[in-house]
Structure 1
Amino acid sequence: MEETISLQDIFRTIRKRAVMIISLTVLSIIVAAIISFYVLTPIYQASTQILVNQQKTDQQIQTTEIQTNLQLINTYNVIIKSPAILSKVIERLDLEMTTSQLANQITVSNAQNSQVVDVSVQDELAFRAVDIANTTAQVFQEQIQVLMKVDNVNILSPALLPEDPSPVKPNKMLNIAIATVLGLMIGVGLAFLLEYLDTTVKTESDVEELLQLPIIGLVSPIDDKDLVQTSPEVRKLRK
């Protein structure tokens, strides 16, 4: 019985504060849409792939050489984002940023046991993201021969600029969905908080709970018209 009453109270509170809950939800959606569409700067991404593989004149690759290349990839991932590479990228593209700022825009990764390294760049301008990705790969291919005395890096797939690039950030629909959920949570939470803080007596159950006494009777409300029609004395008194 207590569970039923508890559920009834929950639905009653939500129904009572429905306008406030809906208003807060709609307000959250509007704010999220404005921020996503007009405030946040779109970020574009471009990626290029680098193949780490020692060139062989006899067209044969030994297993030990493959393992060596795989072990070198972790080192290469660090070298790609090092100032030795990025400083030359900044110089070639005439970028107005530091090597640390550029490193924050670059992500280097590779699948497990894969000799292909993915270099992804995020930037506010789509064409600049493509330029940075391709230039980083080119500079790395050139400098690795000087730094490591090896020639086992080839550009497998350069970054390309699509005709109609679409940003990867912000995810407008995701932001709106999150705002909807947050608006509902805040609205429902505030509704129950207001209900908890409301100590006024409105129903017979409130009286019973307040006085800790059973209710033995109720007085129904009497309309003035009914009272006048059924009581001639009251009509005389009003005259």
Structure 2
Amino acid sequence: MEEQVISLSEIFEALKKRWIMIVAITLTATIISGVISFFVIDPVYEASTKVFIGKEESDDAAYNSSDINMYQQLLQTYAQAIKTKDLVNRAISGLSYDELEASSVVDALTVNPISSTQILEIKYKSKDAEEAKDVLKGITDEFIVTAKELVPNGNVRVIEEVELPENPVSPNKKMNIAIAFLLGLMVSVGLVFLLEYLDNTYKNKDQLEKELGIPVLGAIPDIESI
């Protein structure tokens, strides 16, 4: 059986014939994504801070490479200590956000030990920018107190203060709209090719001669009714 080859002209003709459907599906997907991104999904804000982990400032002993390695390894311990419910409970107990629960705060909290440094990056996400700042500030302050209890000769110092986040980190409206546009375009073009594949009628004599391999001897004209 001879393999059927589709020419570029046939592809362009199929797209041209159903261009309205392509535009309609693409625009619909884009508009729906825009409406959801701007009016349905609540914006989420992220506050962040960085703390340095090192030796006690009053310690007169030399600061050597073994000390650096020890505190770098200690970052992992501190990262786990920050994300404990007891610490979080103490941190939010003095805040005016009564609806907050330690478990939900822990889930929204991210602690990243920065590789090959003595720095911890702490982030907290919330739908309220003020809450994001206040909660992270409370957690950081409580962590400094707890760290002193865990390692008495250690020094935890904030090197990047918590600031009020001005712009939400999600949803990414531009990205959502761009993805919806591309998906709508791909789906609509795929649907066009599917409809063309399911359509087994012959549209002109050239197509008939190509498919059957025989010449067309005559054609019946389409006569409009009077």
1:77 to 76, 79, 97: 79
2:69 to 63, 67, 70: 67
Q: Does the CA contact (< 8 Å) of 1:144 and 1:150 recur in 2?
A: no
Report how far residue 218 of structure 1 moved: 4.2
State the partner residue of 2:156: 153
Task: Tell me, yes or no, if structure 1 residue 179 matches structure 2 residue 180.
Answer: yes
Matches within 5 A, 1:180-219: 180-208=181-209, 212-219=212-219
Cα distance change, pair 59–16 in 1 and its aligned pair in 2 (3 A): farther
Larger radius of gyration: 1
Query: TM-score scaled by structure 1?
Result: 0.83
- Pairwise CA RMSD of aligned residues? 2.4
- Give the unaligned 5+ runs of structure 1: 225-239
Report how far residue 21 of structure 1 moved: 0.3
Segment of structure 1 superposing worse, 138-147 or 122-131:
138-147
Cα distance change, pair 199–220 in 1 and its aligned pair in 2 (3 A): closer
Q: Does the CA contact (< 8 Å) of 2:42 and 2:127 recur in 1?
A: yes
Q: Does the CA contact (< 8 Å) of 2:37 and 2:171 recur in 1?
A: yes
Q: Does the CA contact (< 8 Å) of 2:53 and 2:154 recur in 1?
A: no
2: CA distance, partners of 1:142 / 1:124:
28
2: CA distance, partners of 1:4 / 1:213:
14
Q: Does the CA contact (< 8 Å) of 2:92 and 2:139 recur in 1?
A: no
Aligned length: 220
Q: Does the CA contact (< 8 Å) of 2:44 and 2:170 recur in 1?
A: yes
Report how far residue 17 of structure 1 moved: 1.1
Q: Does the CA contact (< 8 Å) of 1:88 and 1:139 recur in 2?
A: yes
- Give the unaligned 5+ runs of structure 2: none
Q: Secondary structure at 2:68's aligned position in 1?
A: helix
Task: Tell me, yes or no, if structure 1 residue 32 matches structure 2 residue 33.
Answer: yes
Report how far residue 126 of structure 1 moved: 0.6
Q: Secondary structure at 2:124's aligned position in 1?
A: strand
State the partner residue of 1:137: 140
Segment of structure 1 superposing worse, 2-11 or 110-119:
2-11
2: CA distance, partners of 1:221 / 1:160:
77
Q: Does the CA contact (< 8 Å) of 2:57 and 2:155 recur in 1?
A: no
Identical pairs, percent: 33
Once the two structures are superposed, residues 140-186 of structure 1 have per-residue CA deviations (whole angstroms, 9 ceiling, x without a partner) of 00012223444321122221226xx1111111111100010001001
2: CA distance, partners of 1:152 / 1:42:
36
Q: Does the CA contact (< 8 Å) of 1:46 and 1:122 recur in 2?
A: yes
Report how far residue 208 of structure 1 moved: 3.6
Report how far residue 220 of structure 1 moved: 7.8
Report how far residue 201 of structure 1 moved: 2.7
1:87 to 70, 86, 89: 89
Cα distance change, pair 213–151 in 1 and its aligned pair in 2 (3 A): closer
**Structure 1 runs of 4+ with >4 Å offset:** 2-5, 220-224
Segment of structure 1 superposing worse, 94-103 or 213-222:
213-222
Report how far residue 4 of structure 1 moved: 8.0
